[in-house]
């Protein structure tokens, strides 16, 4: 008996390369500002979900000065470590420090950490908080780790399958994984990929290689960014610099 194997088809993404982080930040801020401006003009308000970590700081600083009607814009996080804002690991603290200032100080901010002892116990409160967000998001900015995780979709997490289920109905889910460090809370795949504008912000040769491997083959369990590539309604827009 003979068997044949069929390679996993490559997944599309659209890569825009920039010379340096400053040029990338300016382009990313311009794209996001335009999406927010368009949604406010159409619906009167707009919601934006951003990622934490070190990479987006320059983007936050640039976007904070954008001439938008920030009073009509609500900002939240793609995901959050289950820590208070007094922690240097808090994404909410990062956003308050680098984005919600200048013109952007007028925006409404909806953090995901509720103060409950665990993300599982805080899930209902976080769900109630995000229920008021204008849906779908006008823009979502994702990041990606060297292990291929995005949002808090970590390989090996017990709740990963539910988090990346394109037919799932939950907006938020608690995540625990060895690579995650602290327990986390994250938006699930469906509300992220339904955004008017979905962007992936990565920097460096290593992360570009990780993305290209994920696009070339594999599965979402091993390379969670692949779940985004496979299920987004159009090729994922990637902004990258060396």
The pLDDT of residue 2 is 30
Return all residues near 61 (Cβ < 8 A) that are at least 6 apart: 25, 98, 99
pLDDT confidence of residue 7: 52
- pLDDT at site 3: 32
Alpha-carbon span 242 to 19, nearest angstrom: 7
Q: What length is written for the chain?
A: 242
Using alpha carbons, select from 52, 59, 60, 121 the residue that is nearest to residue 80: 52
pLDDT the model gives residue 6: 46
The pLDDT assigned to 198 comes to: 98
Helices (H) and strands (E) in the chain, counts: 8, 10
User: pLDDT digit string (tens) for 181-225?
Assistant: 999 999 999 999 999 999 999 999 999 999 999 999 888 889 999
Sketch out the chain's domains with CATH numbers.
13-241 (3.40.50.1360)
pLDDT score, position 98: 98
Which residues of the chain fall below pLDDT 70? 1-8
Edge to edge, the sheet with strand 79-81 lists 79-81, 184-187, 172-175
Provide the pLDDT for residue 221.
87
Nearest to 14 by CA among 241, 206, 234: 234
pLDDT in tens, 124-137: 999 999 998 999 99
The tokens describing 237, both together, are 């827009």
Q: Both tokens of residue 207? A: 């992360």
Q: What is the pLDDT of residue 195?
A: 98
- Round to the nearest angstrom and report the end-to-end CA distance of the chain: 48
pLDDT at 189 (0 to 100): 98
């Amino acid at each position: 008996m003979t068997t044949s194997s069929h390679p996993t088809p490559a997944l599309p993404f659209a890569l825009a390369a920039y010379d340096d982080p400053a040029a990338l930040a300016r382009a990313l801020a311009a794209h996001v500002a335009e999406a927010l401006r368009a949604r406010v003009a159409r619906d009167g308000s707009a919601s934006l979900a951003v990622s934490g970590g070190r990479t987006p700081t320059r983007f936050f600083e640039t976007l904070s000065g954008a001439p938008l009607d920030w009073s009509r814009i609500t900002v939240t996080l793609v995901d959050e470590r289950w820590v208070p804002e007094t922690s240097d690991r808090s994404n909410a603290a990062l956003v308050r420090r680098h984005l919600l200032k200048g013109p952007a100080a007028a925006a409404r901010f909806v953090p995901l950490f509720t103060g409950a002892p665990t993300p599982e116990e805080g899930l209902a409160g976080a769900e109630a908080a995000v229920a008021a967000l204008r849906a779908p998001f006008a823009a979502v900015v994702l990041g990606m780790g060297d292990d291929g995780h995005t949002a808090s979709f970590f390989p090996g997490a017990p709740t990963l399958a539910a988090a990346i289920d394109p037919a799932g109905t939950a907006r938020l889910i608690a995540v625990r994984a060895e690579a995650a460090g602290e327990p986390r809370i994250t938006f699930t795949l469906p509300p992220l990929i339904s955004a008017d504008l979905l962007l992936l912000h990565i920097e460096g040769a290593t992360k570009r290689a990780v993305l290209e491997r994920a696009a070339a083959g594999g599965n979402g369990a091993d390379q969670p960014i692949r779940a985004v590539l496979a299920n987004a309604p159009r090729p994922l827009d990637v902004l990258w610099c060396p």
